[in-house]
Structure 1
Amino acid sequence: MIPARRAPRLRKKKGSYYADFYDRHRGRKWVALGTKNQRDAQRRFIELSDAYMRGDYDPWQEQRPRLMRLARAIDEHMAMRRREGQAERTIQTRAGLFRRFAETLPPEIAVIDVRPEHVRDFVYQPHFTEHSRATHYARLRTFFNWCRSQGYTDHNPCDEVRPPRKPRPKINYLTPAQLDRLLEAIEAHHALHGRPDRDLRWYADVVRFTAGSGLRLGELCALKWKDVHLAERLIVVRSDAEHRTKSGDSRIVQIAPMAAEVLHRLSGGREMPGEAYVFRGPRSDRLSYELTSRLFRKYRRLAKLPESLTFHSLRKTYGTVLASAGVPIRSIQKLLGHSDVRITAQVYADVLSTALREQVEGAFERFEE
């Protein structure tokens, strides 16, 4: 016999999460949780489920939005992000965008009073690039979905705004020749300006390892020796209270031989203290995010490389090498720690299609022999 009322279920559709409610007399009701992040969705689902089972929440009944000022909602959203362990740098970037948006609206405006034309006028400003428009739209949409899940509004104003065309991302990776030029620039600079108390060549190890592991800069700075398994050429990228990865998940990464050589050289064949950081700055026991990024720009100029290349391009180098070699897309997704395989497919679309074409041609050349 089908029960008149069953416990809600967590569902996922097209990358977004929903709470699925069922009542035999009123039917089924899906309630959007306003997030594509699994951990956020599980937390919000538990809150709604508990309220539903207590009788404090009725998904079939229209909930009246609580009056909430936009500025305060932004502060609450950022506080929620901090509680969930998101990087402070990311929080500040998002907060800056939301506050710039709020500055274009009447003072003390409530969340429920934000209209589609407000979003449209902000996102489609003439001086924004296509990439900026797409990014701003996506982040505002996520924010207002969260506002809706909190009961601050009954609609998302972004839903009635035409999404900006998302340009196909250009992969800014380093070719083998460019990587060699960058490393030569570091060595040459050390030869001219190195001091006994400050060996600048440590940065060459950072560059080699990143290109051979695909780690994000924050993940690189947080890497400890306890997560290094040299015999298998594996490292564990942890997501915990001390450092949360972008996707919120831990992963295992197979590193390239050149990255393994860096670890062998740094350890000197000794067993290293597990809690010690793998990479150290010139005057600290941990790599500095800001210094590492700044030095890349410096050596990029010395090597006369394109300004479009950033430290993150080293990560793209790792992904591009894998895609060019025909490594399955889902394997690349797991190694890079992308939350969705579609991100991997979009970023490396051209490389993947070229590799696939070469594999098909090679397969039929062998078939016809």
Structure 2
Amino acid sequence: EFSEDELLALLQTDPDAGKRWAWGQAIRDLMPLALLTGARENELCSLTVDKVVQLSGAELLGIAVLEEDAKTASSIRRVPLHPLVRPIIERRLAAARATGEPDAPLFPECKPGGPAEKRGYYFSKRFTEFRRDVLGAESDGLVTFHSFRKCFGTFMRRAAVAGVSECQLSVAQKLMGHKPQTITETTYMEAEMPWKVYEAAILGMVDKGMPEGVIEALT
């Protein structure tokens, strides 16, 4: 995962400064989303209007990873959005709805590409350029966009150790789209937990697991 200093350097650098990097707004928006949802790069780049969910009685909005974008069957899931990133989704959602297309992409700049025509294909290249410029070429082979996902897992564990029961491993696995590792989980436990458990995990992760400096950088 990224160190705290690396996270701060990435989050506090304006991707549009001096027009040095392409796709500045996408980079700026997708970094916090990855950090606070644990979602994979292509899952986020592929978000559309119909993949933003509002459950009845829920405190938080959510995003859905559907079969067409899921890496595995376990990756099909819904993840609550922390209030820190809700403005990003609301801004993107409003622009997408304005197109009149029911399945309009939230990140239209992320055009499909590569052998599998994935929306994360070209974005990955642009983020790599940004990351190298900010952290140096020596970060190659050590950190990637996927490192935000690893930070999410680390912050979940820290929050669990700090006493947030909803951040336990079984919940983190569900939120990250990982297959349960034991027969007990796969055979004898409910496949889905209540949405409020996921909400509490996301809120608790930030409150008890995330460094204060990173929270300030996201505010």
Q: Assess if the C-alpha contact under 8 Å between 1:333 and 1:341 holds in 2.
A: no
**2:11 & 2:118 partners in 1: Cα distance?**
18
- Give me the CA root mean square deviation: 3.2
Q: For residue 32 of structure 2, what is the amino acid of its counterpart?
A: R
What percent of counterpart residues are identical? 24
Q: For residue 44 of structure 2, what is the amino acid of its counterpart?
A: L
**2:145 & 2:96 partners in 1: Cα distance?**
29
Equivalent residue for 2:158?
324
Equivalent residue for 1:245?
70
Q: Closer, same or farther in 2 for the Cα pair 1:282/1:214, shift >3 Å?
A: closer
| Structure 1 residue corresponding to 2:26, chosen from 183, 192, 202 | 202
Offset at residue 258 of structure 1 (A) = 2.9
1:264 equivalenced with 2:90 (yes/no): yes
Matches within 5 A, 1:278-357: 278-281=106-109, 288-304=119-135, 306-307=139-140, 308-326=142-160, 327-341=167-181
Normalized per residue, the structure richer in strand is: 1
Offset at residue 300 of structure 1 (A) = 1.4
Q: Closer, same or farther in 2 for the Cα pair 1:221/1:174, shift >3 Å?
A: same
Q: TM-score, normalised by structure 1?
A: 0.39
1:276-325 per-residue CA deviation (whole Å, 9 max, x = no partner) reads: 112221778x9832221112221111112533111111111222211110
Q: TM-score, normalised by structure 2?
A: 0.63
Larger-Rg structure: 1
- Return 5+ residue gaps in structure 2 as ranges: 161-166, 183-219
Equivalent residue for 1:181?
9
Q: Assess if the C-alpha contact under 8 Å between 1:213 and 1:253 holds in 2.
A: yes
Equivalent residue for 2:62?
234
1:36-71 per-residue CA deviation (whole Å, 9 max, x = no partner) reads: xxxxxxxxxxxxxxxxxxxxxxxxxxxxxxxxxxxx
- Return 5+ residue gaps in structure 1 as ranges: 1-172, 343-369
**2:110 & 2:65 partners in 1: Cα distance?**
23
Q: For residue 333 of structure 1, what is the amino acid of its counterpart?
A: Q
| Higher RCO (C-alpha 8 Å, min separation 6) | 2
Q: For residue 257 of structure 1, what is the amino acid of its counterpart?
A: P
1:68-120 per-residue CA deviation (whole Å, 9 max, x = no partner) reads: xxxxxxxxxxxxxxxxxxxxxxxxxxxxxxxxxxxxxxxxxxxxxxxxxxxxx
